[in-house]
């Protein structure tokens, strides 16, 4: 007993008091900024593994970006990744970062369905389905609930059964072999329900986009409520994105 108390004492407080403003350590690659400097653009696209980088004008699609930083390494004066982790949004269009425009990424309030704020603002239970995810986004989604990030304090939790869930969090490019279980899981969640795509693989297929072993037809017939970019996602990107979605936080100027 004494030992247990000692451990608690030694561990002190581990939670991040404010997950919306905390600064992440190190050189985290979040929101990129693209300058208007002129460079040989034909070589630029070549350094991107997933075709996230395109030219005329230069832009990066964060839904395809693996955040490997290769472009920033090759063209440091053209592309920089900032530590801004709030890059989740509900509009696929808003994930595209354009040359010269230094603008934060927010949710589009017009796209948030009415019932989301009404039912889920105080409590949101999510069912996670890995459909070809490599395990890294899954690790980070798990970390969202640990004592550091403590997502549970906002009433957001992962649950074991789709019957208890208000929504689905998909990771991975959606393999053929997972297409049916994913659909069954979605159908088992009671209405109203939301869908969140977590990670580059889920949003665009990432490096697996043109693999013959994936089947992304599920996404053709369902509305996506939140895109969380990253490879893997950062817990803070996920938590902030979900909070913005359910609490309908206003766009900050």
Partner 1 sequence: MKSISIKNNEHIALDSIPILDYQTFSDVNTALLQKENHHCVNYYGFLYLGKVKLICCIADDLNNNILVSSTLADAKQTLPSLSRQCLAFEKFERELHENFGIQFEGHPWLKPVRYAFNKNDKNSSIRNYPFFKIESEELHEVGVGPIHAGIIEPGHFRFICNGEQILHLEIQLGFQHRGIESLFLQKEKLIQRHTLAENIAGDSAVGHTTAFANLWETLCRHEADAALHFNRTLALELERIAIHTGDLSGMCTDVAYQLGSAVFGRLRTPIINFFQQWCGNRIAKSLIRAGYNPFPFTPELAEKLLQVLASFETDFEEICHETFCAPTVLGRFEKTGIVTHEQATSIGLVGMAARMTNINRDIRASHPYNFYPSLSHTPILKHHGDVYSRAQIKREEVKQSIRYIRTLLMDMPIENLDRKPLPNPLPNTFAISLVEGWRGEICHCAITDDKGRLMHYKIKDPSFHNWLALGLAVRNNEISDFPISNKSFNLSYAGHDL
By CB under 8 A, name the binding residues for partner 1.
3-4, 6-8, 10-11, 14, 24-29, 46-50, 66-70, 73, 81, 128-143, 146-148, 158, 160-161, 172-173, 175-178, 180-181, 185, 201, 206-208, 210-214, 231-232, 234
Nearer to partner 1, 90 or 199 (CB): 199
User: What order do you get walking across the sheet with 124-130 strand by strand?
Assistant: 156-158, 124-130, 167-171, 194-198, 226-228
Closest approach of partner 1 to the CB of residue 69, in Å = 6
Closest approach of partner 1 to the CB of residue 91, in Å = 25
Nearer to partner 1, 50 or 204 (CB): 50
CA distance 112 to 88: 13
Can you give the length of the chain in residues? 253
Closest approach of partner 1 to the CB of residue 23, in Å = 12
Nearer to partner 1, 48 or 107 (CB): 48
Closest approach of partner 1 to the CB of residue 101, in Å = 23
Nearer to partner 1, 20 or 148 (CB): 148
The residue among 142, 81, 116, 119 whose CA lies nearest residue 244 is: 116
First-to-last CA distance in the chain? 51
Nearer to partner 1, 112 or 151 (CB): 151
- Token digits of residue 164: 């208890």
Nearer to partner 1, 100 or 142 (CB): 142
CA distance 185 to 170: 11
User: Phi/psi of residue 130, each to 5°?
Assistant: -90, 115
Closest approach of partner 1 to the CB of residue 223, in Å = 21
Closest approach of partner 1 to the CB of residue 47, in Å = 6
Nearer to partner 1, 101 or 139 (CB): 139
Closest approach of partner 1 to the CB of residue 130, in Å = 5
């Amino acid at each position: 007993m004494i030992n247990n108390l000692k451990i608690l004492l030694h561990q002190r407080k581990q939670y991040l008091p404010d997950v919306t403003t905390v600064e992440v350590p190190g050189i985290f690659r979040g929101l990129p900024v693209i300058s208007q400097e002129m460079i040989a653009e034909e070589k630029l696209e070549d350094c991107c593994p997933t075709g996230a980088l395109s030219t005329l004008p230069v832009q990066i699609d964060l839904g395809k970006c693996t955040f490997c930083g290769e472009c920033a390494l090759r063209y440091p004066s053209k592309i920089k990744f900032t530590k801004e982790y709030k890059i989740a949004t509900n509009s696929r269009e808003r994930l595209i970062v354009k040359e010269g425009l230094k603008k934060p990424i927010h949710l589009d309030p017009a796209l948030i369905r009415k019932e989301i704020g009404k039912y889920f603002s105080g409590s949101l239970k999510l069912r996670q389905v890995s459909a070809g995810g490599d395990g890294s986004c899954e690790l980070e989604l798990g970390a969202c609930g640990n004592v550091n990030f403590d997502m549970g304090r906002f009433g957001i939790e992962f649950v074991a059964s789709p019957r208890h869930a208000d929504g689905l969090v998909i990771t991975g490019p959606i393999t053929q072999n997972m297409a049916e279980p994913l659909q069954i899981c979605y159908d088992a969640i009671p209405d109203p329900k939301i869908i969140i795509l977590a990670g580059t693989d889920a949003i665009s297929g990432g490096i697996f986009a043109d693999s013959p072993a994936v089947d992304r037809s599920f996404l053709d017939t369902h509305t996506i409520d939140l895109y969380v970019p990253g490879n893997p996602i950062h817990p803070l990107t996920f938590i902030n994105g979900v909070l913005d979605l359910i609490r309908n936080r206003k766009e900050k100027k």
